[in-house]
Amino acid sequence: MSNSSIKTVSLTNRSEDEALPKLKELTLEYLKVIEDGDFSSLSRFMHPEALNTFKTMLFPLFEREAEQGERELIDICFGCQSNVQMLSFMESGEFFNGFMRLFSQQVKEIQMRFEKVEVLGLIREDDVYHTLNRVAINVDGISVESFEVLCFQQHNNNWHLHLTKEIKGLASTLETTQIKYH
């Protein structure tokens, strides 16, 4: 491994770091929206580039569905008045929220709550800040604790999230798979 491939990052949890209080607040707010099952409003947290990437990854799924004469996914996410041409002109944030409606409906059917959320610290990597979080989640009586990392970057003087690993994984899976949505 050459020295040029080694990158140094620092972990801080000092309150004097000006970004930490705001990112802690955003992390807790973001996780609360998830706990409430309101996935269709998550775009307000997302970085514009993340929203564009998401739409670029998933728009072909709707095109394939239309080419096959199907409408199930578009109807669930965007309503029966929508079509692929409308989606192509849709703002990336609106597209993201529409798609996430699919998961809002499913999450509301299960018993999910966060038992504990701790923002442990902040890792700065150039202009991207990563919050390191310990999260205990209970789903239908089963508790799991894990570490989660959320990545934030400023845009127009506001902090916004990059796509999370869960959203990237979901998009990648759907992008390469034909799934029926019942």
Q: Classify residue 102: in a domain, yes or no.
A: yes
Question: How many H helices and E strands in the chain?
Answer: 6, 5
* DSSP secondary structure, 62-87, as one string: HHHHHHTT--HHHHHHH-TT--HHHH
Q: Classify residue 9: in a domain, yes or no.
A: no
Q: What pLDDT is attached to residue 120?
A: 92
Q: Which two tokens stand for residue 137?
A: 């989640």
Residue 6 pLDDT greater than 80, yes or no: no
Query: Domain range for residue 89?
Result: 16-176
- The CATH number assigned to the domain holding 166 equals 3.10.450.100
Q: What pLDDT is attached to residue 175?
A: 66
Short-list 83, 76, 141, CA closest to 110: 141
- For the ranges 91-95, 108-112, 166-170, the one whose mean pLDDT is highest: 91-95
> 99-129 as b/e, with b when 16 or more CB fall inside 10 Å?
bbbbbbeebeeeeeeeeebebebbeeeeeeb
> 16-35 as b/e, with b when 16 or more CB fall inside 10 Å?
eeeebeebbebbbebbebbe
What pLDDT band is residue 177 in, cutting at 50, 70 and 90? low
Q: Classify residue 2: in a domain, yes or no.
A: no
Q: Classify residue 139: in a domain, yes or no.
A: yes
Q: Classify residue 132: in a domain, yes or no.
A: yes
Share of the chain above pLDDT 70, in %: 86
Among 20-34, 85-99, 109-123, 168-182, the least confident range: 168-182
Q: Classify residue 144: in a domain, yes or no.
A: yes
Q: Classify residue 4: in a domain, yes or no.
A: no
Total structural domains within the chain: 1
Look up the pTM and report it.
0.81
Q: Classify residue 125: in a domain, yes or no.
A: yes
15 vs 102, which has greater pLDDT?
102
Alpha-carbon span 169 to 163, nearest angstrom: 10
